[in-house]
């Protein structure tokens, strides 16, 4: 019997072609998000689900998919997947790490520079016809060069962000669950410090931690108050890592100078008061959104799914214990 793969959102044609060479594919190129009941109905006899962060894969869904062998997430994060439930049912779960590191690091810098130099505010000022000529004190921003960069979460993407700081002659501080090897620190010109020290010393704080119970509201009112009033916060990690209510309040009261935000609590819903603030650069979760990177993510998810269906170990298996059962 041929394998069946359900693809939950629109993907690139070459990723679909790769899947179709190995299985019967039910796609969603119309890109209409599938409600849980619809996803369960489509996947009831599926061997694989290729999904996105917008899809919740939990015990209830898995119970309705008795043939399921693998869930291939088109993302590096996987908090949309109940990993324990997958493991309990012997379902492999995979993600797409590595292929998006450099693109996401680029975008973190985009938000950092945009917030520092007030680019959103400046463009609105120009488009609305308010600009009447050059002024010495017009839209004064803060310098990035020779400033102190603080990175919370020094995995692959955090290190890619740190590498870019060399060109700006920045001092780099970082906080991580475990300290990097001394040789890696030297290569990045980075120094490990405690989180409170980083928050107090950094001119730019970039968050690159995964979302979990442990990192929920990692940055809240107390942490924002420890930052410099001239500091800029950048979040390209996950919504929920920052308490958005506290951040809106801190930006409104100028507890910190500015922020660049790509992810939000409860997205695509977000705190609407962000829209009234001039000192925040907002983006709709697009840090990895270059054509080459998003294609590479889809292709890697397809490779993960095909490997599992072929009886091989997927290259990015999150729960290897399913192979030991």
The verdict on whether 267 is a catalytic residue reads yes
Pick from 25, 84, 45: which is nearest to 318 by CA? Answer: 84
* Residue of 238, 265, 294, 303 with catalytic role: 238
Q: To 5 degrees, how large is the angle CA 311–CA 94–CA 18?
A: 65
Q: Which residue has the tokens 């019997």?
A: 1
* Residue of 89, 197, 267, 271 with catalytic role: 267
Check whether the bond before 268 is cis (ω within 30° of 0). Answer: yes
* Residue of 3, 117, 226, 285 with catalytic role: 285
DSSP 243-255: -HHHHHHHHHTTS
> Alpha helix (H) ranges present in the chain?
13-20, 36-43, 59-63, 83-88, 101-116, 119-127, 156-165, 182-188, 195-201, 221-226, 244-252, 291-309
Return the active site residues: 238, 267, 285
């Amino acid at each position: 019997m041929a394998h069946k793969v359900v693809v939950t959102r629109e993907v690139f044609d070459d990723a679909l072609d790769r899947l179709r060479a190995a299985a019967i594919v039910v796609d969603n190129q119309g890109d209409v998000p599938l409600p849980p009941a619809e996803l369960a109905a489509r996947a009831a006899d599926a061997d694989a689900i290729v999904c996105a962060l917008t899809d919740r894969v939990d015990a209830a869904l898995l119970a309705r998919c008795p043939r399921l062998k693998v869930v291939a997430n088109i993302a590096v994060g996987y908090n949309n997947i109940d990993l324990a439930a997958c493991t309990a049912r012997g379902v492999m779960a995979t993600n797409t790490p590595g292929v998006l590191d450099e693109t996401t690091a680029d975008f973190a810098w985009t938000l950092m520079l945009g917030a520092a130099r007030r680019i959103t505010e400046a463009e609105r000022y120009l488009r609305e016809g308010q600009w009447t000529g050059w002024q010495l004190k017009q839209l004064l921003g803060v310098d990035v060069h020779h400033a102190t960069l603080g990175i919370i979460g020094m995995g692959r993407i955090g290190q890619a962000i740190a590498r870019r700081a060399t060109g700006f002659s920045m001092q780099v501080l970082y906080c991580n669950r475990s300290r990097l090897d001394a040789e890696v620190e030297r290569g990045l010109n980075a120094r490990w410090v405690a989180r409170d020290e980083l928050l107090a010393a950094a001119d730019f704080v970039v968050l690159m931690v995964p979302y979990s119970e442990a990192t929920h509201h990692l940055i809240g009112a107390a942490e924002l108050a420890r930052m410099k009033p001239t500091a800029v916060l950048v979040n390209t990690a996950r919504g929920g890592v920052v308490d958005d209510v506290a951040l809106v309040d801190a930006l409104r009261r100028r507890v910190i100078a500015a922020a660049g935000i790509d992810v939000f609590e409860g997205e695509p819903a977000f705190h609407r008061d962000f829209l009234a603030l001039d000192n925040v650069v907002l983006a709709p979760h697009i840090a990895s959104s270059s054509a080459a990177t998003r294609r590479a993510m889809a292709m890697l998810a397809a490779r993960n799914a095909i490997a599992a269906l072929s009886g091989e170990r997927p290259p990015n298996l999150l729960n290897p214990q399913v192979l030991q059962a």
